[in-house]
Amino acid sequence: MDIHIHASAAPISTKNIGIEETRRSITYHPSVWGDYFLAYTSNDIYEHEEQERQRQKEEVKNLLEVNPDDSLHKLDLIDTIQRLGIGYHFETEIEKSLKFIYHTCHVNHDEQDSDLRTIALRFRLLRQEGYYVSCDVFNKFKDHQGKFDESLITNLQGLLSLYEAAHFRVHGEEILEEALKFTTTYLDSSLTRKSNYMSRQVSEALEMPIHKTLTRLGARNFLSIYQQDESHNDILLNFAKLDFNLLQNMHQKELSHITRWWKSLEFGSKLPFARDRVVECYFWILAVYFEPEYSISRKILTKVITMFSVIDDIYDVYGTLDELTLFTDATERWNFNDMDELPLYMKYCFEALSDVCVEIAEELEKTSKGYGIRYVIKEMQKLLGAYFEEAKWAYNRHIPTHMEEYMKVSLISSGYMMLSTTCLVGMGELVTEEAFNWISTESIAAKASSIIARLMDDIAGHEFEQKVSAVECYMNKKGVSKEEAFTELQKLVTNAWKDINQECLHQTVVPMAILMRIVNLARAINLLYRDGDGYTNSKTKLRGLIADVLVEPVKI
């Protein structure tokens, strides 16, 4: 759903009907976390812990330096470091190694190597870094009939590596489409006949491939898998455990700060119809950036997504058409002193949004990026306008007759263009006006991320929301069943991932660090909505995932 959260269609009023009679009441479950993080007293990071982290970091850095770039061991080392969630410490070293591998190694090696695992691993690591490697490197693994050789099914490590590589495919790469089908079939059938260690690797990959995994969640899962590997490197394992816990400590403090801000708004009593999901919102944004240097960015973007979660509930659940007209008009003028005509509950929300926008502007000014606030406000206004358009659809019981009509509005109402723009706040010197303009006007990845958000939301919330969605539009246009519509919309989601992959290759307009925020937004929505609306119904699997990342430390 839109940043939003599966509310049903807006209960709209007319001037001839009593306002309270026109409101709909939807009961959402309360926060599953309550005041847990408000009262959270995490320990300070003591100097000796930081010193130990730095000491162990140097040991890992030495491992990267002593292993030659053209070795399989170097590829394995880079992959392990990244999957353990500590790659952010060694970005320069990893970038240098992969650049060397790309320019001097991969062409000759891919022609000479016959090991599927090695070729697929090299392919994936280079594409992750933004280097284009031809998928033709996998042709050698086909038989005389043009199909993948059946002898590969005994090479489980190779199949798993090829499976992961196939998720970095772009449009037109049929061999990778075939590779994904081939590997998925045989990996799934292998689960009952392999060791616990290998079975868990395969099971985790089939559930969530590396390309779609949230860094912190992936690190938590891989830590336990890697520890089971008898050949694991203690230097890597110990550093990853220590770093995970120290980062978790920092994230807990941030969430405590954000929870205090949320409680100070008193929305629980002032806007009781809105869902309380501030912890889930922080987890969402933690997926976008977890690194220490983006602490301010996390705090700001969490406040933004939390505010628009509430605003979405106003448009979808509580507001009458007359009230929504006033609210939309006020935001179009963007005059926070012009609130006289708004009902009290909207004034509370408007004031809180105003304060967040002031915080954004102040943060941008600190790094001489004051121009950025124009882009942020413009995207917020577009989002509110899209919310209003959907509210009018509900009022008029209008279902768009064409997907194009629906998507023109609903891509904006997904909230992801606004989040893609606002996530630049606090990213320092990486950000330029060109970057803001790129996101708002020409970013294929930002549009693709919005498509993923919109369609996964609609598929997950179709039954619950009972409002206009891509599912109804597609069913009406094509005359197909709900199940057939789901299948076709999933294909559009898959194509959107290919668009993202394409823009990540040879990206020159903005730094990869900026582009990865958009990729991470897509990863977050994929996790939250792949098995239904995990945001609204956060008592389910999401609760355990949040605990893994934000509550339970790794045992050292």
* 461-485: average pLDDT: 85
Question: Which of 152, 182, 208 is at the close of a domain?
Answer: 208
- pLDDT tops 90 at residue 16: no
CATH of the domain at 475: 1.10.600.10
The answer to whether residue 41 sits within a structural domain is: no
Q: Name which of 9-18, 49-58, 282-291 the model is least confident about.
A: 9-18
Residue 260 has pLDDT above 70, yes or no: yes
pLDDT-wise least confident of 104-108, 127-131, 152-156, 405-409 = 104-108
Residue 60 lies in a domain: no
Q: Are 344 and 268 contained in the same domain?
A: yes
Averaged pLDDT, 523-528:
97
Q: 34: phi > 0 → left, psi -120 to 50 → alpha, else beta; which? A: left
Nearest to 334 by CA among 368, 390, 385: 385
Q: Residue 133: its pLDDT value, please? A: 95
pLDDT average, residue stretch 5-16: 39
Q: Do 351 and 401 sit in the same domain of this protein?
A: yes
In a domain, 39, yes or no: no
Domain span holding position 325: 247-550
Rounded CA separation 526/550 (Å): 20
- Which has the higher per-residue pLDDT, 441 or 346? 346
Q: Please determine, for residue 30, whether its predicted confidence score (pLDDT) is greater than 60.
A: yes
Residue 26 inside a domain? The answer is no
Same domain for 524 and 454, yes or no, is yes
Distances in whole angstroms, Cα of residue 410 to Cα of each of 278, 350, 388, 521 = 24, 23, 11, 17
Stated as kind and residue range, the H or E segment containing 200 is: helix 196-207
Same domain, 181 and 256: no
Confidence of residue 1 (pLDDT cuts 50, 70, 90): very low
Residue 525 has pLDDT above 90, yes or no: yes
Return the residue matching tokens 């694991």: 232
Helix (H, G, I), strand (E, B) or coil at 142: strand
User: Any idea what DSSP says for residue 317?
Assistant: I
| Judgement on whether residues 349 and 406 belong to the same structural domain of the protein | yes
Average pLDDT over residues 522-541: 91
Q: Does residue 313 register a pLDDT over 90?
A: yes
Residues 275 and 161 occupy one common structural domain: no
pTM recorded for the entire structure: 0.94
Range of weakest confidence among 8-12, 34-38, 84-88? 8-12
pLDDT over 80 (residue 325)? yes
Q: What is the pLDDT of residue 124?
A: 98
261 and 192 co-located in one domain? no
**pLDDT at residue 17, rounded to an integer:** 46
For residue 137, what are the CA distances in angstroms to 395, 498, 501?
A: 55, 19, 18
Own/partner long-range contacts of 247-251 (Cβ < 8 Å, ≥24 apart): 247/216, 247/290, 247/292, 248/549, 248/550, 248/553, 249/42, 249/43, 249/45, 250/45, 250/292, 250/295, 251/286, 251/290, 251/549, 251/550
Split at pLDDT 50, 70, 90, the class of 279 is very high
**How many distinct structural domains can be found in the chain?**
2
Q: What percent of the chain has pLDDT over 70?
A: 92
Over residues 536-547, the pLDDT tens digits come to 888 889 999 999
- DSSP label at residue 28: P
- 74 located within any domain: yes
Please report the pLDDT score of residue 464 as a whole number.
66
* CA angle, 175 then 218 then 70, to 5°: 60
Q: Collapsing DSSP states into helix, strand and coil, what is residue 397?
A: coil
> Can you give the pLDDT at residue 4?
38
Instruction: Round to whole Å and give the CA distance between 152 and 183.
Output: 9
Instruction: Tell me what the mean pLDDT of segment 76-101 comes to.
Output: 97
Please give the average per-residue pLDDT across 233-240, as a whole number.
98
Q: For residues 136 and 282, state if they share a domain.
A: no
Q: Is residue 152 part of a domain?
A: yes
Q: Does residue 487 belong to any structural domain of this protein?
A: yes
**Secondary structure in 3-state letters for 467-510:** CCCHHHHHHHHHCCCHHHHHHHHHHHHHHHHHHHHHHHCCCCCC
Average model confidence (pLDDT) for the chain?
91
Q: Do 371 and 502 fall within a single domain? A: yes
What pLDDT is stored for residue 473 in this prediction? 92
Residue 476: pLDDT over 70 = yes
Name the region of 172 (left: φ>0; alpha: ψ -120 to 50; beta: rest). left
* pLDDT above 90 for 54: yes
Distances from the Cα of 357 to the Cαs of 52, 287, 351, 418, 504, in angstroms?
39, 22, 10, 13, 30
Same domain for 153 and 287?
no
How open is the CA angle 354-359-363, to the nearest 5 degrees? Answer: 150
Tens digits of residue pLDDT in 355-398: 999 999 999 999 999 999 999 999 999 999 999 999 999 888 89
**In 465-496, which positions are buried (b, 16+ CB within 10 angstroms) versus exposed (e)?**
bebbbbbbbbbeeeeeeeeebbeebeebbeeb
pLDDT at 177 over 90: yes
pLDDT at 13 over 50: no
pLDDT band at 194 (very low <50, low <70, confident <90, very high): low
**How far apart are the C-alpha atoms of 218 and 391, rounded to whole Å?**
38
190 and 313 in a single domain? The answer is no
The distance between the two most distant Cα atoms of the chain, rounded to a whole number of Å, is: 79
- 93: tokens are 């070293």
Asked if 450 and 328 sit in the same domain, the reply is: yes
Mean pLDDT score, 403-410: 95
What pLDDT score was predicted for residue 23?
73
CATH (domain of 132): 1.50.10.130
Residue 429 reports pLDDT greater than 50: yes
Q: Is residue 183 part of a domain?
A: yes
